[in-house]
Amino acid sequence: MKIREEYTCPLELTHDITKGKWKPIILWQLRQSNISLITLEKNIKGISQKMLIEQLKELLDFGMVGKNTYEGYPLKVEYFLTERGKKMLEAITIMQHIGIDLMKENGMEDVLKEKGLID
């Protein structure tokens, strides 16, 4: 994805960077440490490797995510949050808390407990 020439406001650009089902989830997964592609794929249910690679590339292009490549066989690659990605994570954390509140209001505590998000 490329930056367009015109935007209504900066929020529109930020939305373009994070829009879609997977990017916020990828950023959320990277919050704790550097993670390999295989681990990300295992941790994100329903995402294909092709989609994961595509979304990571866009996040890399916008400077939200960085990538370390280690020599050797098999080749090892890890992804991590950049400083910009960490700032974006603050907004995603707020969104996560709103989602938790809404799930509680709709009787979905069992799902939250299963995921370890509430006691």
Sheet strands side by side (includes 76-81): 35-36, 76-81, 65-70
Q: What would the pLDDT profile of 3-21 be if each residue is shown by its tens digit?
A: 778 888 888 888 888 888 8
Q: Can you say whether the dihedral through the CA atoms of 33, 38, 40, 44 is positive or negative?
A: negative
Q: What would the pLDDT profile of 24-40 be if each residue is shown by its tens digit?
A: 999 999 998 999 999 99
Q: What would the pLDDT profile of 34-71 be if each residue is shown by its tens digit?
A: 999 999 999 999 999 999 999 999 999 999 999 999 98
Q: What would the pLDDT profile of 93-114 be if each residue is shown by its tens digit?
A: 998 899 999 999 999 999 898 8
pTM confidence score: 0.83
C-alpha radius of gyration, the chain, whole number: 16
Q: Among 7, 10, 1, which residue's Cα sits nearest to residue 59?
A: 1
Domains and CATH numbers, the chain: 10-114 (1.10.10.10)
